Amino acid sequence: MATKNSLSALQVMQDAPVIPVIVLHDIAHAVPLARALLAGGIRMLEVTLRTPQALPCMEAIARHVPEAVLGAGTVRSAADAQAAAMAGARFAVSPGYTHSIGQACHDLELPLLPGVATGSEILMCQQDGLTELKFFPALQAGGPAMLKAWSGPFGEVRFCPTGGVTLQNAAEWLALPNVVCVGGSWLVPADALACGDWARITRLARETHALRSAGK
């Protein structure tokens, strides 16, 4: 789907092998974290709407780090999508799918990666024109074997598995033909955030380039 910033869900997935899943509790962390990830070559940043500070953090990143491509994660309603767009989000990620989330993101011109864990959910997304999907929670919902099984009936769907993906197992996921990228929280460890160890986060981001040369 074309958007006002010409970004598609596929482009969000193709930019790097990993979309970092970010949980921010302190607005002071937002800008240095975004800069640390950018320094490591990661531009697509998924800030989850899980904390009261999420929206102000997104606003700070949008204002001060315009080279980052800000996304909102944990979008659970049309209102979440609207608030995220107002805060500067340019894409959205949801842990599940409803038609109202899909409609809101369509109306807001926000590319959406909706979460699916069953064939029926994939069919619902396809009915609404969505073929780039987040497989969530990926490890718990069936792991790589599930995506291999889906590649038959849902051969045109491309996935971003998220949930239980780590630096150690990411290559296995990325080797699957229907996986474009993975999502994961390992790039932003809570202890590194807490002590402002931005250099460690940049190093973790840089490590993901090896994943690209290994497969995607």
Q: How far apart are CA 210 and CA 216, in angstroms?
A: 10
Which of 58, 51, 49, 53 shows the shortest CA–CA distance to 78? Answer: 49
Query: According to CB under 6 A, which one of 71, 114, 161, 163 is a site residue for ligand 3PG?
Result: 163
Residue 109 or 207: which CB sits closer to ligand 3PG?
Answer: 207
What's the min distance (Å) between Cβ of 117 and ligand 3PG? 12
3-state SS of 94-122 is ECCCCHHHHHHHHHHCCCEEEEECCHHHH
Contact flag: residue 208 with ligand 3PG (CB under 6 A):
no
What's the min distance (Å) between Cβ of 182 and ligand 3PG? 9
Instruction: Pick the stretch among 24-32, 75-83, 106-114, 157-165 that binds ligand 3PG (CB under 6 A).
Output: 157-165
Contact flag: residue 184 with ligand 3PG (CB under 6 A):
yes
What's the min distance (Å) between Cβ of 137 and ligand 3PG? 6
Tokens 């989000």 appear where? 89
Q: How far apart are CA 193 and CA 53, in angstroms?
A: 14
Instruction: Pick the stretch among 8-16, 52-60, 141-149, 158-166 that binds ligand 3PG (CB under 6 A).
Output: 158-166
3-state SS of 40-85 is CCCCEEEEECCCCCHHHHHHHHHHHCCCCEEEEECCCCHHHHHHHH
| Residue 122 tokens, joined | 């994939």
Contact flag: residue 161 with ligand 3PG (CB under 6 A):
no
Contact flag: residue 162 with ligand 3PG (CB under 6 A):
yes
What's the min distance (Å) between Cβ of 3 and ligand 3PG? 24
Determine the Cα angle at 88 with ends 83 and 32, to 5°: 120
Total residues belonging to the chain: 216
Instruction: Considering only residues 61 through 100, tell me which ones interact with ligand 3PG, judged by CB under 6 A.
Output: none
Contact flag: residue 21 with ligand 3PG (CB under 6 A):
yes
Residues that bind ligand 3PG (CB under 6 A): 21, 136-137, 162-165, 184-185
